[in-house]
Structure 1
Amino acid sequence: MNHAVWSFACFCLFEAVSLEIFSLDGEWKLLNSNSSVSVSAEVPGCVHTALQRQGFISDPYYRFNDLNYRWISLDNWTYTTSFSVRGKGKAVLVFEGVDTISTVSLNGVIIGKTDNMFRRYDFEVTGLLKDQENVLQVWIMSAVTYASQRSRAHTEYRVPPDCPPPVQKGECHVNFIRKAQSSFSWDWGPSFPTLGIWKGVRLEVFNTLRVLSFTTVPKYDSGNSSWNVEVELFFDVVVASKALVLMSIPLLHSEEFHLSLTPGQSRKSFVLQINQSVSLWWPFGHGEQPLYELEIQINMEGGETFNAQRKVAFRTVELIQEPIPSSPGLSFYFQINGRPIFLKGSNWIPVHAFQDQVTTDMITVLLRSAQKANMNALRVWGGGVYEQDLFYSLCDMYGIMIWQDFMFACALYPTEKNFIQTVREEVTQQVRRLKSHPSVVIWSGNNENEAAIAADWFNISAAERPLYVRDYVSLYVENIRDLVLQEDGTRPFLVSSPTNGVESEKEGWVAHDPYDPHYGDTHYYSYYNDCWNWTAFPRTRFASEYGFQSWPSFSTLSKVSVTSDWDFSSNFSSHRQHHEDGNQQMLKQAELHYILPNRSDPVQRYRDTIYITQVMQAQCVKIQTEFYRRSRSDIVEGKGHTMGTLYWQLNDIWQGPSWSSVEFGGKWKMLHYWATDFYAPVLSAAVEDEGDLLIYAVSDRHSECHKVKAKVKFYSWSSFDAVCSLESNVTTLKAGGSTLVFQHPISALLEQCGNCTRRSCVVTFHLSSPEGQMISPLNHIFLSSPRHAEGVQKPDITFTVKDAGIVQSFVVTLHCSFPAVYVWLDVDDIPGHFNVNGFLMLSNTSTVTFGAWRPTTAEEITANLHITSLRDVY
């Protein structure tokens, strides 16, 4: 048995009477290496954004500008500002984030250097400040040049990969620099190796002390059935001091502590014992997310005071890896507050290539979109950035659990002393910053690097392999893992993803097969194999990556393209595709079950092709996710007991083809609409198995008191009237499991229905209570590929739009002549989403609501609404 049990809280800065803070954010001067470019630049910000704001360049995302503006990342740049201060005392310049390699000088004196995008840097400048103007300069070196130099300096052995695949149009040796790995390119994003001061800069002046950070970690004491809130304060002290610390969680507990501090940096711990009941924090869909207020006041003996507040939540988390009866291997699932929780969600990548462009609205829209799709978990992927505080605070509020990778992905890494040292500081700072958030439920050392060694991605000889395993263990186990356990130790830690968990540990941290479905989590992709063949999917314990590509909507692409680009075989389409053979894979997969668009109008054919890729993606991910959800109760040949699905990926970094369900800008693809159903708390899912139609009821509920029956209907493609209707017997819905509720030979059902064949009919089904109340979303299954369907007619869909009488809500009434499949509504650039989309329309009239995210009118929606069904595209 392998358990890690604990619980947690949220973040806030101290306010102090004696601490003076001078913000240096705002307008700086920006120069390139030969002074040929001189512009004003905002801090926080980056060079690309500054150049665009000053009109020096146009939108970096437009057409081929990622290549046209490559020169920006190959140059060196200098940020300069001046300021005056009047405060007296110890002075520290704080850089929350510099991207990435820089030399910092104040009044001509070098005060420090930076080499890690993910670290905060504090430089003491006491004695260097002038009473009048002070000049602060940050010289930033090209990350591309630096990475190349570090690679060349590593002469003992190579550290692969050297460069990304040519299709990615990226830069080389990104594994030699502590920077967002995807900034040098990825298979879903551009190469923009940014430079800049990407987070805030401030000067802190103080005579007594300052508080560096503040963490709170509630832990459950099972022996006493009570909670202890562990509070840690990190100080930078100038003179020896004594203080009285007052801590309070209103209505729960208040306590006083005496504090003695000596000069230098120190760490002080306190424990608040909560001897009364608390309301527990639960993942979304399993309960509420109560957040308590923790208040701290530090009263210094000299009369100075420091105050801070933070949200605190009470919950426990366990990662259960233990033997499964009658099965080889180990389980792999999360328990929150003692209850097994099936994780439903996706993977999160950087929201924008230029982090200073990421707004509160962008993060909020994406997280709300995840919650509206019934997600309770997201994996912050290891090739991007540790997200900003707002992201984690919103996840705390929304009940979205975070699987937090450290920022290493798809590569091997050097282990020189300087590299290890900056990584250690990075890990320490990030764990201290994030461990107070209840939403963070697990740390993971890297993305796919165990698999990279085990599966020999980089053609390493057998003789060399021990060297790379040694480096792997040194970096992720002896440094990152050990540091995490020292700094937190309250959450499970996995060295990699995918991994066999404790089995990988037994095998020296690099398993023979990290994809073994009997252990841990798996990543699985297969693009040419028929995604409708559910028997080919791995019956894994936990699916942490899987998915299929699609293109974003025409309205999203048209913002960065011109008419000549609007063809699937254009240079633009090829340029935006960063995954080898990606466009071909999409069409080949779609062609297995759909007739590819063939209308004569090239622009319409382009729009239709975009549509068919989204249909394919939604259908493929739906089939795979439903397979995993119904496998939670199954053990087949020792495999199964699946307890998590995180499809790849939630969001996009730019306007291009990817695995995302939400486009750049926040527009939902068909996949995201479907996720609201296949992630529903109670799901009905059907498969054909050896000639039988099987319908399962899958429940996330914790009670078995619900009784259900399956209602099944057969519809012909030529009529709105059901050919026949069937019901299953009443079955008790298994709590937190999958229950078979309907099983009949398809041949017998077709014979019973009379006028149906596999090609002429579609089957719909849902779960209802014995009294007829609908419990699960309506679902459907095809008995043959839609490309072979018989009797399908053009539905001739028309529509009207009316104001719904609710602010920015509109009712779209659809009328059609024949049943229609994959009915898709698109309102171009009007932001918002429909309550359903990409649906099966089996009545001549249907109503859909649209919620707009900005003021609009029924007339504007009418003018921009496009409706497409499968039969319309050929």
Structure 2
Amino acid sequence: MKSVTLDNWQYKASDSDKWSNSKPGDTCEIHPDLEFNGEIPPLFEDDNERHLQWIGEKDWEYKSTFQNDGGFSTYQLIFEGLDTFADVYLNGELILSTESMFIEYTVDVTGKVKEGANELRIYFKAAIFIARDLEKKHFKALGFNGESSRMQIRKAQYHYGWDWGPNYMTCGPYRPIRFIGYDYKIDDVYVKTTIKSDVVDVEVESDIIADKDLTFNIEVTDPDGSVENHKATVHKGKNSTKFTIKDAKLWFPFSHGTPYLYNFKFTLVDDKVVHEIQKKIGMRKVELIQETFDDQEGTSFYFKVNDVPIYSSGSNWIPGHSFQTELTTDDYEKWLQLMVDGYQNMIRIWGGGYYEQDVFYDLCDEKGILIWHDFMFACGQYPGYKEFIDLVSEEVRTQLKRIRNHCSLTVFAGNNEDYQVAEQRGLTWDKDDLSGDYSKTNFPARTIYENTLPTLMKKYLESVPYHPGSPWGGKESADPTVGDMHQWNVWHGNQEKYQDWYRLGGRFVSEFGMEALPSRKTYEQCITDKTELYPQSYLVDFHNKADGFERRLALYVIENIKVEGLDFDSWIYATQLMQSECLGYAYRCWRREWRGDKKRYSSGAIVWQINDCWPVASWALIDFYRRPKLAYYSVKRESKPLGVGMYRNQWKKPDPNLDVDQKEGAPFDYREVHYNIDIWGVNSSLTDVEGELKVDVYNVTTGEVLDSFSENVVMKSNQTTEFVKEFKITNKSPVVVYSRVVKDGTIICSAADWPQPIKYLKFPDREVKITVEDGQVTLSTNKPVKGVEILLENDNFIHDNGFDIFPGDGQVVKVNNLKKTDVVKINYYQKGY
């Protein structure tokens, strides 16, 4: 067998005769190509997006040549991804017309390809006009974000613009095109495993293209390097080869074990090797557990891997760039390593992007990151007519076969928020109607989510759980007692106070978030007019696509943070500190509810979102240029295997004579406020941890220690352990409670609970000392300090940031590649008091 990947692409507008060279490589998209050749200004600078909409309104052509040396009986062209409506010509002959960017197309070109040079030309039609025509033919859909016609076509929905991304309707051969020649071929191989303790039954399903029986060798190399071989005779079509692996090393997410992988090498032999494939396989079993409780309504919603319950702490993943061809293997490596460094064991591939590149799944397998995978439907009322369902079915078939050998796949969800759109936009549907035919209703895509997709999952990937949507659960998608939920009543919706996260949680919160501005450096890279670098400028606002962001950001900042000034740096710090406080609060509250067997009341927090697709102010923890915001670190601290949680309860004695509404915050309610603190420990490891809980209560203003106590504690494995219930604290002065668990003289986890909102606090006479050494920064303080930010001239990765410091417990922070001579500055809350 021989395989050639096409490169050396050229492109032109359909109404032009001028061909230009594409960017070097084997994949192309029209926008990056135009920028590469200087035909348009930089795509992400200033407001250039506004002036480049014409690109998506034109037809474009691509061409390349490839060599055929002959010598084989069969030839194919494999198109891994064409975006979206394309006519493909081989040596002037039409061989393929496409209408989905998600389908991998294979075309037999035996007899059409010639020996020597061959030309492949692809004509891409403007998808936006085809979508609008389909909308006129079928119906105008309801949805959130983007033009309504987007739901009529199978194209990455975020290309239409989202509340965090630009509107760039691109096209091109965005994934590789391969020309292959063969006599015999392994067309597909699927490794199915059944876990029985440390014994694994393996079944290798292979699909062979051959006209006679051949030998099929399977070489299995375990994580220690030991090799075993299995041999079978295979014939044309489907084959099954079974064997057992004893003393197997099972794959676990990094948070609960080691992500062991086995290397499988498959060779097809006819006197000599005629085809070879290699795959890395993890031995694991995954289950979605939805069981009733003895003492609460609803059911659990958590995952087991190899019979071990997993608390899922993670992030949503949007496409890492507005143009997929711009992402490299190194980009994916760095992004996913940031997940691991942040102790985030689950990543959710959101349904408005695309099925990811192979390297994404490879790296999740290797690093031990669980994948929640949406099918590619997002925030809309999709069609359900036969031709559309047939197109979706082929998409799902090709994608599941491509990625199903990946052990990191944990659950597939039918869509993102489509049921929520149906509820909020008044679509009528009977949840008890399970007929499977909803083509004549105004929610026709139920046919896809409740019939088509589960049927295809059962056929191609039965070992991974299927969930009809996200969110999806009980009587409505926002039901906190069943299934998963998207909690957007902080920021969107009711715009609740984030201090109320504890009552806004659910069984599994798969979306929630808070906006913040990115680094000043990021704005300096995308805004050329430096007089625009202030919080309310036109270009700063242009790089924020969220509806109503000015009011909402101001609301949350002004409610919670004392703003030192409205200069750019102060506003950036204020928004980032507010986001950090907000998200850390959510993880802390919800993780408390992971209380052990039959009491796993809340089992996952997946923040929106980890990344951006261009330089923008958004909900991302890390901005487009991979600069972490302070919230990345607060989420990291709350996601560590060992942690301390605290919650401040407050109450007032009821007064029947008080003629005001006696709810929190009522005006003219001057009753005395009483406070107490709950303290608990969290432990996601699989062994109990003993230690000493130490608690100090400080007067925030003076720094005086008002109370202290300690006790021996045991942090029970894979659950929350309650330490202290309703410890009374003074109400005579603002106090911060600092708790830590100490083992063998070392703090293994710590946390602080500050009076809310922190804007009322005063921090006079703070002195923070800093020492810079190669590879680390050491900080100490004379009094409690909040939100310490380390600032570097370069972008060396800082392992912790935005933290609090207390007297006697200095912070030693690792910084990659830091030199003792580097300039290091610090900022902290109310530094300029």
Shared fold (TM-score, shorter chain, > 0.5): yes
1:375-454 mapped onto 2 (5 Å cutoff): 375-453=344-422
Whether the 8 Å CA contact 2:267–2:273 is kept in 1: the answer is no
Question: Which residue identity does 1:82 align to in structure 2?
Answer: T
TM-score, length-scaled by structure 2: 0.90
Question: 1:552 pairs with 510, 514, 518, which one?
Answer: 518
Question: Which residue identity does 1:624 align to in structure 2?
Answer: A
Question: How far apart, in 2, do the equivalents of 1:242 and 1:236 lie?
Answer: 10
Specify whether residues 593 and 62 from structure 1 end up closer, same or farther in structure 2 by C-alpha distance, changes over 3 A only. same
Question: How far apart, in 2, do the equivalents of 1:832 and 1:259 lie?
Answer: 53
**Once the two structures are superposed, what CA deviation does each residue of 1:227-250 show, in whole Å capped at 9, x if it has no partner?**
22121223344xx11101122324
Counterpart secondary structure, 1:241: coil
Question: How far apart, in 1, do the equivalents of 2:830 and 2:203 lie?
Answer: 61
Counterpart secondary structure, 2:498: coil
Tell me if 1:839 matches 2:810.
no
Question: 1:499 pairs with 439, 451, 472, which one?
Answer: 472
Counterpart secondary structure, 1:173: helix
1:633 alignment counterpart: 595
Question: 2:573 pairs with 611, 614, 618, which one?
Answer: 611
Question: Which residue identity does 1:185 align to in structure 2?
Answer: G
2:747 alignment counterpart: 774
Question: Which residue identity does 2:482 align to in structure 1?
Answer: Y
Whether the 8 Å CA contact 1:321–1:331 is kept in 2: the answer is yes
Whether the 8 Å CA contact 1:172–1:184 is kept in 2: the answer is no
2:690 alignment counterpart: 707
Shift in Å, 1:848: 4.4
Tell me if 1:750 matches 2:726.
no
Specify whether residues 720 and 147 from structure 1 end up closer, same or farther in structure 2 by C-alpha distance, changes over 3 A only. same
2:477 alignment counterpart: 514
Whether the 8 Å CA contact 2:207–2:239 is kept in 1: the answer is yes
Identity over aligned residues, as a percent? 26
Whether the 8 Å CA contact 1:758–1:783 is kept in 2: the answer is no
After the TM superposition, which of the residue ranges 779-788 and 544-553 deviates more from structure 2? 779-788
Counterpart secondary structure, 1:414: coil
Shift in Å, 1:831: 2.4
Shift in Å, 1:401: 0.6
1:211 alignment counterpart: 186
Shift in Å, 1:46: 0.6
**Once the two structures are superposed, what CA deviation does each residue of 1:414-438 show, in whole Å capped at 9, x if it has no partner?**
1233322221111111111211111
Shift in Å, 1:460: 3.4
2:250 alignment counterpart: 280
Question: 1:588 pairs with 550, 555, 561, which one?
Answer: 555
1:575 alignment counterpart: 542
Whether the 8 Å CA contact 2:78–2:178 is kept in 1: the answer is yes
1:654-733 mapped onto 2 (5 Å cutoff): 654-690=614-650, 691-704=675-688, 706-717=689-700, 722-727=705-710, 729-733=711-715
**Once the two structures are superposed, what CA deviation does each residue of 1:343-387 show, in whole Å capped at 9, x if it has no partner?**
111111100011011112211111111111111111111111111
Tell me if 1:260 matches 2:235.
yes
Question: 1:297 pairs with 267, 288, 291, which one?
Answer: 267
Question: Which residue identity does 2:613 align to in structure 1?
Answer: I
TM-score, length-scaled by structure 1: 0.86
Tell me if 1:270 matches 2:233.
no
**Once the two structures are superposed, what CA deviation does each residue of 1:173-223 show, in whole Å capped at 9, x if it has no partner?**
1111111111111111111121111111121122x222333221212258x
Tell me if 1:872 matches 2:831.
yes
Question: How far apart, in 1, do the equivalents of 2:596 and 2:573 lie?
Answer: 35
**Once the two structures are superposed, what CA deviation does each residue of 1:752-776 show, in whole Å capped at 9, x if it has no partner?**
xxxxx443x322111234x654332
**Once the two structures are superposed, what CA deviation does each residue of 1:504-551 show, in whole Å capped at 9, x if it has no partner?**
xxxxxxx5312212211111012232112344423x111111111111
Whether the 8 Å CA contact 2:195–2:306 is kept in 1: the answer is no
1:321 alignment counterpart: 290
Counterpart secondary structure, 2:730: helix
Question: How far apart, in 2, do the equivalents of 1:102 and 1:784 lie?
Answer: 57
Question: How far apart, in 1, do the equivalents of 2:301 and 2:701 lie?
Answer: 47
Shift in Å, 1:819: 4.4
**Structure 1: any 5+ residue segments left out of the alignment?**
1-18, 501-510, 600-604, 752-756
Question: How far apart, in 2, do the equivalents of 1:583 and 1:844 lie?
Answer: 41
1:76 alignment counterpart: 59
Counterpart secondary structure, 1:31: strand
**Once the two structures are superposed, what CA deviation does each residue of 1:10-47 show, in whole Å capped at 9, x if it has no partner?**
xxxxxxxxx1222212x222110211764211440211
Specify whether residues 58 and 680 from structure 1 end up closer, same or farther in structure 2 by C-alpha distance, changes over 3 A only. same
1:195-274 mapped onto 2 (5 Å cutoff): 195-206=171-182, 208-221=183-196, 226-237=199-210, 240-250=211-221, 251=226, 253-261=228-236, 266-274=237-245
Specify whether residues 641 and 519 from structure 1 end up closer, same or farther in structure 2 by C-alpha distance, changes over 3 A only. same
1:346-385 mapped onto 2 (5 Å cutoff): 346-385=315-354
Whether the 8 Å CA contact 2:611–2:622 is kept in 1: the answer is yes
Question: How far apart, in 2, do the equivalents of 1:717 and 1:374 lie?
Answer: 30
Whether the 8 Å CA contact 1:147–1:172 is kept in 2: the answer is no
Specify whether residues 450 and 784 from structure 1 end up closer, same or farther in structure 2 by C-alpha distance, changes over 3 A only. closer
Specify whether residues 639 and 565 from structure 1 end up closer, same or farther in structure 2 by C-alpha distance, changes over 3 A only. farther
Question: Which residue identity does 1:45 align to in structure 2?
Answer: C
Shift in Å, 1:52: 1.1
Counterpart secondary structure, 1:327: coil
2:424 alignment counterpart: 456
**RMSD, aligned α-carbons:** 2.6
Question: 1:783 pairs with 755, 775, 790, which one?
Answer: 755
**Once the two structures are superposed, what CA deviation does each residue of 1:158-182 show, in whole Å capped at 9, x if it has no partner?**
3323xx65xxxx5441111111111
Shift in Å, 1:845: 9.8
Question: How far apart, in 1, do the equivalents of 2:286 and 2:779 lie?
Answer: 47
Whether the 8 Å CA contact 1:831–1:852 is kept in 2: the answer is no
Specify whether residues 373 and 133 from structure 1 end up closer, same or farther in structure 2 by C-alpha distance, changes over 3 A only. closer
Specify whether residues 295 and 131 from structure 1 end up closer, same or farther in structure 2 by C-alpha distance, changes over 3 A only. closer
Whether the 8 Å CA contact 2:313–2:639 is kept in 1: the answer is yes
**Once the two structures are superposed, what CA deviation does each residue of 1:791-838 show, in whole Å capped at 9, x if it has no partner?**
x22646575544x2xxxx3x335576764321112225x222223211
Count of residues in correspondence between the two structures: 791
1:142 alignment counterpart: 126
